[in-house]
Amino acid sequence: MFFQQFKVEGLGCLSYMIGCPQDGRAIVVDPKRDVDDYLRAAQINKLKITGIIETHVHADHISGAAELKHQTGAPIHIGAGSPVDYDHIPLHDGAEIVIGNAKIRVISTPGHTPNSISLALTDLVRGDLVEMLLTGDLLFVGSIGRPDLAGGELLEEQIRNAYHSLKVKLDEFPDYVEVYPAHGAGSLCGAGISAKPSSTLGFERRTNPFMQLDFEDFRKQLSQNTPHRPINFTHIIDTNLQGAKLTGELPAINEYKPLTCKNFLASDSERLLIDLREATAFGGAHIPSSFNIGMAPNSATWMGNVVKPESELLLLANNHKEIEDATTMFRRVGYDNIKGYIIGLSSWILAAEETGFLPQITVHSLNHVLNKYGNHTVLDVRNESEWLSGHIENAEHIPLPELINQGFSRNLDQHISVICMSGYRSNIAASILKQRGYKNVYSVIGGMSTWKAAGY
């Protein structure tokens, strides 16, 4: 049996190719939107992609199923009852797909979504025993899939489904069976997911905190600790229910309009400018009203927390490669309305246009300021668990998603230092505060990790 895992850094998305070298066919499970990796793997291993399986309707990334079907002709399979609007083959509990020596059995495992499935894999060359489980978003390494994405009215039912799927549906499989989930660390489809890309069922039964709970504690944990829902999730779900646009329907990256200072100023003022440069470069000089989402593996995740997916976007980066990479990343999470880009700030500065300034202060400077000025505000934008692990005395805690959605009420002249764990989120938050009219905003370089390392 041929088996390969594919990972999207930052998003934590995991997808798979299962096939048989002797038979020459393969199936792709939960493909990402850009499908070249699967086509390349199939070509290298002399396999033809003849099927696509979705374990559920994804909320955190645009599926590549439609694109892969377009390029290979392979049909899309998804759990029976899934309310999708595209042509598909429904997979019922117990159904089997055999590709040469690879056997795939479908297991209905609702919980993350009402129609989620898992896949039990058997290598017939080695015998009839199941050796791997593709658990979709039911069971992660160290965590489980969140049950709230189908809607609050279904939460109670989904919690019961998840518990039954974990405790009853998976109970038939012994401890040695390997677990391969649809997400790893970085995904917002669960909390506390391990960076390890696979596990075993026995190890999860012994160490995964959710697998230790009785139903009442399980229900209480999932009811009271609902993770933040990024603003792009609804758009992604709707897109995946309909089937995503094909690559050929989107502008080629080299067709995006390169902007100079003159034509940027003449462009639609409603378009959002996303500055992809690192925090210190943005802090030194930037185009006023721009957002700073620096290029990093998790840029697309933070994009989904900050920017509405229907927004028309302009990108600013140091070079064309960063524009291409950012476009791929942002399209994975539903941002197709990229209308142009700017390379660097040279034309803006040489045209003597106004630039913004976001001071980057060290933890030593912040400590000095706090000792000297009692009315200085520290705004901590980390999440709840990070805040509870330790924070600066008298700091105000507003997680970044709440700051974006609910705002921050202070006099616009108030001096505010924004801090996160490393300095990445603080620059996003500080750039938003600057856009909203706050005049004296600072971003703390190195964040709380550096604050603690300095002994404060």
Q: What is the DSSP string of 259-279?
A: --HHHHHTS-TTSEEEE-S-H
Q: Can you tell me the mean pLDDT for 308-312? A: 92
In the numeric block, which tokens belong to residue 159?
Answer: 């919690």
Helix (H) or strand (E) holding 284: helix 279-284
What the chain holds in terms of domains, given with CATH numbers, is 2-236 (3.60.15.10), 250-350 (3.40.250.10), 360-453 (3.40.250.10)
Q: Can you tell me the mean pLDDT for 181-190? A: 84
How far is 436 from 291, CA to CA, in rounded Å?
A: 11
State residue 398's pLDDT score: 95
Q: Within a 13 Å sphere around the CA of 147, how many CA atoms are in the beta-carbon half? A: 29
Q: Give the residue among 384, 381, 378, 377 at the shortest CA–CA distance from 405.
A: 381
Q: Give the residue among 118, 57, 116 at the shortest CA–CA distance from 243.
A: 57
State residue 269's pLDDT score: 65
Beta pairing class for 440-444 and 291-292: unpaired
What average pLDDT does the chain have?
A: 92
pLDDT grade, residue 103 (50/70/90)? very high
State residue 114's pLDDT score: 94
Least confident of 190-199, 266-275, 306-315: 266-275
pLDDT grade, residue 65 (50/70/90)? very high
| Model pTM score | 0.91
Told to judge if 420 belongs to the known catalytic residues of this protein, a careful annotator would answer: yes
Q: Can you tell me the mean pLDDT for 188-192? A: 77
pLDDT, tens digit, 9 for 90 and up, residues 363-373: 999 999 999 99
pLDDT grade, residue 374 (50/70/90)? confident
C-alpha distances out from residue 367 to 98, 398, 424, 448, Å: 64, 20, 20, 12
pLDDT, tens digit, 9 for 90 and up, residues 210-259: 999 999 999 999 988 777 788 999 999 999 999 999 988 988 777 777 77
Residue written as token pair 């290598």: 123
State residue 405's pLDDT score: 80
How far is 39 from 260, CA to CA, in rounded Å?
A: 37
Q: Give the residue among 380, 446, 442 at the shortest CA–CA distance from 416.
A: 442
pLDDT at residue 423 is higher than 80? yes
Q: Kindly tell me the sign of the dihedral angle through the C-alpha atoms of 442, 447, 451, 453.
A: negative
State residue 408's pLDDT score: 85
State residue 86's pLDDT score: 97
Q: Within a 13 Å sphere around the CA of 189, how many CA atoms are in the beta-carbon half? A: 30
